[in-house]
Structure 1
Amino acid sequence: MISHWPQLRSEHATPHPRQAGARNGRFELSLSRHGARTHIGRQYVSYPFHMTRPFALDVAIPSLLTVYQQSSSGGLYRDDRLSSRLDVGTGAAGHVTTQAATVVHDCYGQVARQTTEIVLQEGAFLALTPDPLVLFPGAACSNITQARLAPGAVLLLSDAFALHDPQARNRPFEKLQAKVEIRDADGRLLVRDNLDIAGADLAGPASPVGAWKVVSSFMLVGAPDRLPTVDELAGLGRAERQVAGITALPNGAGWGVRCLAADAIAARGIANDLFALAVVAAFGQQPARRRK
């Protein structure tokens, strides 16, 4: 199916704060390898998260299992506290993505918080590629991701956001904070990345992102012989639709990719291309198309 942003509120509607009280949602998933295939082990999913059955979409890559992490709440709201844990066992492979972009509503000064914990065993592969956050006026969001990788493991992380004002008055979101820490199996820090930006800094003609609509950040971390080369990554993007920059991460951990895109379709295109490069480098086969 084709994903769309939710129906937007009329400019004549009056916004109302949610009732006080945080939602504490939890999404836990473990993947393990049995023979040639990856299967779901332990799972725990509470509101507002939802998960349907897993999908074996790649006939040529039987070890790669795809899971759609869904939400039944209509987005993120003030004081939400949502946490995820993803464990991928030795030789197992998973792709965790979302069914569509996630709207972050006006948080009325109370930050919506998301935390993600990732543990990859030897030779494991995980691509965590959620669709972008759509930051409404007043949105305030904090995302913390912590990952630990054993030897031979590969991790692809995607983090993207777009701005949207349903009333077309150019009102900014409040703030967006994102922190990523990646460590090896012994706990040694490999990569730390921090983003802390106020919506007012992106408002108006002086915005550092200019006319670009979607900002994306990616990390490809892990065994060098299972990662794309810098020359392969250099082919990402088309000048009129996307611009991308590639950085070698510290400690020889892998690659960082920053991207600006003209719209959500262009952003999805570069995310799909990077996912395909990661899968080919790790498994030697092109992945099937992920339909949304």
Structure 2
Amino acid sequence: MTSHWPQPPTFRAPIQPRQAGARNGRFELALSRHGARTHIGRQYVSYPFHMTRPFAFDVAIPSLLTVYQQSSSGGLYRDDRLDSRIDVGAGAAGHITTQAATVVHDCHGQPAHQTTEIVLEEGAFLALTPDPLVLFPGAACSSVIQARLAPGTVLLLSDAFALHDPEGRGRPFERLEAKVDIRDAGGRLLVRDNLEIGGAHLSSAGSPIGDWKVVSNFMLVGAPDRLPTADELAVLGRPERQVVGITLLPNGAGWGVRCLAADAIAARVIAEKLFVLAVSAAFGQQPAPRRK
């Protein structure tokens, strides 16, 4: 599944030494099932990542544990390299989200890099739903997600971005790249999704997103009997606030959902509805609201 945006010339910044102050951050989290509940089995968190205690919001779904992946730094900066590893054990269930949107600052030709590795064991559930990236003028960011899914698992991925110029002069971000590979437990490729877009194309009069403010991409992958139906997904969105497209992913992997939203509130409504649908289909119970 590839996003067919108008493609700018490939961004190739000159090879430069790493900037003083550029950061390497690491976030590792392993969740395991014990009885009816999911617990943290292993964690490693280095600056700029931060994590408080986990939360069990759902009385009716005791196996679903929520973790807020936080930042202590005020956003992403040039040449940042932030890596995450998330392991969810057999029968365990996790929801990992952020405390707020993440600002990507002017990167001065040296993109920030985020990589995430996900491993789900048999029957596991993971919703990875960070709030959108807010791309400031000059922002450049590369995101790579690689996931491996055992039988009976469910994975919900959310990836969203918005444009913002604090000075209100319409200055564009530089470039955004997002790549997702999802494989089965044997390593067979199920889904590959690539997005590449230059900010100048979204800031011009002929922008493919028009006046919409937030672009959201979701992938809901896993065991068919634990996924929402097409009819359930069809209720997403209101034409005046959101435009939603739903795609059946290759290899019977699940659903791709793309959304253009009028503002951050409208984008959050879609993300929350999709999370509710994903949890309800996987567990037969609606999740409690998540506070931000």
TM-score w.r.t. length of structure 2: 0.93
Q: Report the equivalent of 1:215.
A: 215
Q: Deviations over 1:119-149 (max 9, x none)?
A: 0000000000000000000000000000000
Secondary structure at 1:110's aligned position in 2?
Answer: coil
Q: Report the equivalent of 1:126.
A: 126
Q: How many residue pairs are counted as aligned between the two chains?
A: 275
CA distance in 1, matches of 2:118, 2:150: 11
Deviation (angstroms), 1:19:
5.6
State the identity %.
85
Deviation (angstroms), 1:290:
0.2
CA distance in 2, matches of 1:101, 1:164: 12
Q: Report the equivalent of 1:274.
A: 274
**Residue 202 of structure 2 aligns to which amino acid in structure 1?**
L
Deviation above 2 Å: which 4+ runs of structure 1?
18-22
Corresponding position: 1:167 with 2:159: no
CA distance in 1, matches of 2:205, 2:274: 30
Secondary structure at 1:25's aligned position in 2?
Answer: strand
Secondary structure at 1:83's aligned position in 2?
Answer: strand
Q: Report the equivalent of 1:7.
A: none
Alignment of 1:36-185 (within 5 A): 36-185=36-185
Alignment of 1:207-246 (within 5 A): 207-246=207-246
CA distance in 2, matches of 1:19, 1:190: 37
CA distance in 1, matches of 2:52, 2:269: 25
Secondary structure at 1:267's aligned position in 2?
Answer: helix
Q: Report the equivalent of 2:13.
A: none
Q: Deviations over 1:30-54 (max 9, x none)?
A: 0000000000011000000000000
CA distance in 2, matches of 1:219, 1:107: 28
TM-score w.r.t. length of structure 1: 0.93
CA distance in 2, matches of 1:140, 1:204: 18
Deviation (angstroms), 1:21:
4.2
**Residue 24 of structure 1 aligns to which amino acid in structure 2?**
N
CA distance in 1, matches of 2:119, 2:170: 40
Q: Deviations over 1:6-61 (max 9, x none)?
A: xxxxxxxxxxxx96342000000000000000000110000000000000000000
CA distance in 2, matches of 1:220, 1:259: 14
CA distance in 1, matches of 2:28, 2:48: 13
Corresponding position: 1:248 with 2:248: yes
Deviation (angstroms), 1:205:
2.0
CA RMSD of aligned residues (A): 0.9
Secondary structure at 1:103's aligned position in 2?
Answer: strand
Ranges in structure 2 where 5+ consecutive residues have no aligned partner: 1-17
Kept in 1, the 8 Å contact 2:133–2:160? The answer is: yes
**Residue 259 of structure 1 aligns to which amino acid in structure 2?**
C
CA distance in 2, matches of 1:263, 1:149: 33
Q: Report the equivalent of 2:265.
A: 265
Q: Report the equivalent of 1:22.
A: 22
Q: Report the equivalent of 2:34.
A: 34
Kept in 2, the 8 Å contact 1:138–1:173? The answer is: yes
Secondary structure at 2:24's aligned position in 1?
Answer: coil
**Residue 108 of structure 1 aligns to which amino acid in structure 2?**
H
CA distance in 2, matches of 1:196, 1:241: 25
Ranges in structure 1 where 5+ consecutive residues have no aligned partner: 1-17
Kept in 2, the 8 Å contact 1:21–1:79? The answer is: no
Secondary structure at 1:173's aligned position in 2?
Answer: coil
Secondary structure at 1:61's aligned position in 2?
Answer: coil
**Residue 53 of structure 1 aligns to which amino acid in structure 2?**
R
